Amino acid sequence: MRGSVFIATSLDGFIAREDGAIDWLEEWSGGSGEDYGYRAFMESVDCLVMGRKTYEQVLTFSGWPYGEKPVVVLSHRSLAIPDHLADTVEAMSGSPETVAQTLSKRGADHVYIDGGETIRGFLNAGLIHRLIITTIPVLIGAGIRLFGPLSGDIKLHCVQTRQFTDGLVQSEYAIPGDFV
């Protein structure tokens, strides 16, 4: 199973405000018609794995952005899943390795990993193979960082960097030795 990340950060490295809000992203959320490769990325993944906080934030959006794509929400507590999502969303607990084994046994080949804590856990477990990080040209000063303490250095290979006309810069990295 391959794990990939597709995420935006502020220029100062935050993925959300301290309260989890991502209002600073709204200016760049599709007004230009550019999807920054998101649609093609989503077509390449079999399912998503996200943390509970990310899931709860996504539930506040005007619509469910993942369609019929299976979504696994990591949580050690019971999770309220709205009826209209019951066929595609499930709660799961366990280590990143256990979750990856379960999804692999179900036939998942390429999994989208989302949410700060979840990304860090899967990175530490060696289960992230590709990072697509779009840097938004804004400084928010404080919040939830994409990266935090890791169990060791993780060397990356830059596959490509693209600059968009609206000022966003997207870099794609692979873990050397993995799929490039």
Domain encompassing residue 107: 2-174
Q: How far apart are CA 161 and CA 153, in angstroms?
A: 22
- For the chain, the C-alpha Rg in angstroms (whole number) is 16
- 179 domain-assigned: no
Closest CA to 137 of 160, 162, 168, 108: 168
How many domains are contained in the chain?
1
pTM score: 0.92
Contact predicate 134/9, CB 8 Å? yes
Contact predicate 12/76, CB 8 Å? no
Q: How far apart are CA 83 and CA 144, in angstroms?
A: 30
Residue 140, number of CB atoms within 10 A of its CB: 21
What was the pLDDT predicted at 148? 85
Handedness of CA 138, 140, 146, 152 (dihedral sign): positive
What was the pLDDT predicted at 179? 41
- 43 domain-assigned: yes
Amino acid 165 reads: T
pLDDT in tens, 135-168: 999 999 999 999 988 888 899 999 999 999 888 9
- 180 domain-assigned: no
What was the pLDDT predicted at 178? 47
User: Which parts of the chain fold into alpha helices (H)?
Assistant: 38-44, 52-58, 96-105, 116-124
CATH number at residue 30: 3.40.430.10
- Residue indicated by tokens 């084994």: 101
Q: How far apart are CA 1 and CA 99, in angstroms?
A: 11
- 153 domain-assigned: yes
Query: Within the chain, which residues score under 50 in pLDDT?
Result: 178-180
